[in-house]
Amino acid sequence: MGHTIQHRGRVERVTGDRVTVRVEQQSACAGCHAKGVCGGDDQSRIIEVTTPYASSYEVGERVVVALLRPVMALSSIVWGYLMPLLVLLVVLVAAKLFGVSDGVAAVITLASMAIYYVALYFMRRRFERKIQFTIIKE
């Protein structure tokens, strides 16, 4: 697995063919005295992995969650960060070009972000098919 993205974690729950894993993310600046100010704090993430072998995992078991194709991570970055920024900028510029006041333009821009994230939520099944994780016992 030379070109994989891997994270270690613990099984939180096993339901049907899904294994829920809590992955501890550590930032590169873990030893920095200013990490609380810049937001570089340690975080945990929940990842759901669909596998036909879900029943072989137990709660509390240490596992490795892997994303086999790094291009899938790039897709996540595009849809999670770049597209919202693009939508925000396009809507804000369009609102200002139509002569809308600053306050109304801000509200319209925030509403467009809400609509974008609701649409992204409803498209989550499509993303689940494209962005799939593999689980490996440690």
CA distance 32 to 3: 29
Does the pLDDT of residue 101 top 90, yes or no?
Answer: yes
- pLDDT, position 112: 96
Amino acid making up residue 61: E
Q: State CA 12 to chain mean position distance.
A: 18
Structural domain boundaries of the chain?
A: 5-137
**What pairing do the DSSP bridges indicate for beta strands 62-67 and 133-137?**
antiparallel
What are phi and psi for residue 87, nearest 5 degrees? Answer: -60, -45
User: Which value, in Å, is the radius of gyration of the alpha carbons in the chain?
Assistant: 19
pTM: 0.58
Residues 69-93 have pLDDT tens digits of 667 777 878 888 999 999 999 999 9
